[in-house]
Structure 1
């Protein structure tokens, strides 16, 4: 998955392999970009800038939050990627480099982009919410009641509703009351059965303590294999003879006290309604 900020062109890269060897395809690599519902966005032929097996494709700037499917097709096979158009990132790479001394020589831009995505996804999972504007397309079930609970909170806007394969008109969508808690209210009740809803969610920007914690988490991720501490260690003895217990990560904690404290302070209760 790749995340790119709304209004910024995306330069996508895909490498074709034979086994573990990057290999050029015979002929062209075609690329098609669609929305999750199959609507076409852009298509064309990928460029081959030089390295063996590596192809690139430029996606024009998208002005709406969205999630796009990118299909690459060539003689060596087909690949599928997800391109998410978001309202921003938790922090700028230049800021993280300056804050934690992450040199370009040791930590190339491509690596930091990948690790920042890991940090954002983990943070959202632990905290139960997104801290920048994002898009979601979800399948839910109506039961005739007026309230419909979405999988996300901090809901910003309802974009589309499809019932039994039929899309609602813009006027029908606008008539739905949107609660930021993730509840959609429809005065005549939601039709029973499968519904597909598209909506935007997330904060305008992350709180400052969470931004700081996310950058600290980035530092731990890029140094994960160079810490010198064995993977399964639960304590560590320093050269001066002191022994220290290591905070261990769990499904809801990173194992870094400062990060976990900030994440806990920004975690919401994913409750429901009866």
Structure 2
């Protein structure tokens, strides 16, 4: 389906209208054009929108907004789904529309999904990635992701491979690409799709719980640097602390650990 993109322009912290038009250019990460035009200005001040036609495939797009107040770039990902619906999360955890606007929940859901995939080392919905890896003359090349669904494109030394050359590559779900004559030494740019069809149910539940914690992060009443907490009844509780690989919420971390992959090498 088509997407309605938005961008707000400011002078300092004040929403401000641009003098003249705001032009929008949408490209793929390889620089190829998708669509361009002039943004609409439905209001309020400084608020502009632009419609991007429905995309047939998973992708990642760069959106450049240009006007008298400067140029801004957004990155938009065309994905195969989300870990959970916002309506479901609202029902599960009492996140009312009045206190938690849709725009805020969308942003926090993205934070949760990015964090989850970083910790677990895999995507739980279909996604697209364009990555540069290095060939070493051997027949196998290891991608940064697992659950590889399809190899879309390969570029070596600025030369884009033909569809037949791409089809000759053996693609393993583990992220290993094998080429019958070996990969050339040096950088190789690959475009591919990866991720599960849908997330496991326990991970969905954990992700919604993590969303609730991110939404209430500034209203918990516990000091930011606390490692323990004393209740009014006199009980003292040690707080589980987050790290680069843990959220600090035991139930969430247990679910994420069950679905974490080991990104090792290959023979």
Paired with 1:217 and 1:242, the residues of 2 have a C-alpha distance of: 25
TM-score, length basis structure 2: 0.98
Q: CA deviation at 1:273?
A: 2.3
Q: Which residue of 2 aligns with 1:25?
A: 18
How does 1:58-73 map onto structure 2 within 5 Å? Answer: 58-73=51-66
Paired with 1:272 and 1:145, the residues of 2 have a C-alpha distance of: 13
**How many residues matched?**
267
Unaligned runs of 5+ in 2: none
User: Residue 104 of structure 2: SS of its match in structure 1?
Assistant: helix
Q: Which residue of 2 aligns with 1:262?
A: 255
Q: Which residue of 2 aligns with 1:3?
A: none
Q: Which residue of 2 aligns with 1:181?
A: 174
Note if 1:232 corresponds to 2:225: yes
**Residue of 106, 112, 118 corresponding to 1:113:** 106
User: Residue 139 of structure 1: SS of its match in structure 2?
Assistant: strand
User: Residue 126 of structure 1: SS of its match in structure 2?
Assistant: helix
Paired with 1:211 and 1:9, the residues of 2 have a C-alpha distance of: 26
User: Residue 111 of structure 1: SS of its match in structure 2?
Assistant: helix
Paired with 1:224 and 1:63, the residues of 2 have a C-alpha distance of: 37
Q: Which residue of 2 aligns with 1:103?
A: 96
Once the two structures are overlaid, the 10-residue window that deviates more, 51-60 or 62-71, is 51-60
Paired with 1:236 and 1:11, the residues of 2 have a C-alpha distance of: 45
User: Residue 221 of structure 1: SS of its match in structure 2?
Assistant: helix
TM-score, length basis structure 1: 0.96
Note if 1:247 corresponds to 2:247: no
**Residue of 78, 86, 89 corresponding to 2:79:** 86
Paired with 1:204 and 1:161, the residues of 2 have a C-alpha distance of: 24
Paired with 1:245 and 1:63, the residues of 2 have a C-alpha distance of: 50
Note if 1:77 corresponds to 2:70: yes
Q: CA deviation at 1:221?
A: 0.5
Q: CA offsets, 1:91-145, max 9 Å, x none?
A: 0001101111110000011010000000000000000000000001111111110
**Residue of 124, 130, 133 corresponding to 1:131:** 124
Paired with 1:109 and 1:83, the residues of 2 have a C-alpha distance of: 18
Q: Which residue of 2 aligns with 1:4?
A: none
Q: Which residue of 2 aligns with 1:167?
A: 160
Q: CA offsets, 1:201-225, max 9 Å, x none?
A: 0111100000000000000000111
Paired with 1:193 and 1:257, the residues of 2 have a C-alpha distance of: 43
Unaligned runs of 5+ in 1: 1-7
Note if 1:211 corresponds to 2:204: yes
Note if 1:43 corresponds to 2:45: no
* Alpha-carbon RMSD: 0.8
User: Residue 220 of structure 1: SS of its match in structure 2?
Assistant: helix
Paired with 2:54 and 2:108, the residues of 1 have a C-alpha distance of: 23
